[in-house]
Amino acid sequence: MRDLIEAAHDEAWEILVQYRDALDDIVLELVEKETLNKEDTKRILAPVRKRPPHNTFSGSASAPRATVP
């Protein structure tokens, strides 16, 4: 479980670092305007790319699998 949590933390950190400029732009516009509309948000987040989904965790290779009768 710890490995899963650490991997998720590392990935989240990488995403935050990769898109730090977009986060900074959001902050600056929120300080100026207090709210952002849909167009503002789309413009600021345009460079952000969604990552492909992860494989679903199916348990440990060494753990016995439950069977359904």
> 67 pLDDT band (50/70/90 cuts)?
low
pLDDT 10s digits, 2-21: 888 998 899 999 999 999 99
Per the structure, the count of domains in the chain is 1
Q: Is 12 part of a structural domain of the chain?
A: no
Q: Is 27 part of a structural domain of the chain?
A: yes
The whole-angstrom separation of Cα 25 and Cα 20 is: 9
Q: Is 67 part of a structural domain of the chain?
A: no
Backbone φ, ψ for residue 13 (5° rounding): -60, -45
pTM of the model: 0.63
Instruction: Find all residues with CB under 8 Å of 22, minimum gap 6, and list them.
Output: 44, 45, 47, 48
Q: Is 37 part of a structural domain of the chain?
A: yes
Query: The domain containing residue 43 runs over which residues?
Result: 19-48
Q: Is 9 part of a structural domain of the chain?
A: no
3-state helix, strand, coil in the chain (%, to 5): 55, 0, 45
pLDDT 10s digits, 21-43: 999 999 999 999 999 999 999 99
Q: Is 55 part of a structural domain of the chain?
A: no
Q: Is 13 part of a structural domain of the chain?
A: no
The whole-angstrom separation of Cα 42 and Cα 6 is: 31
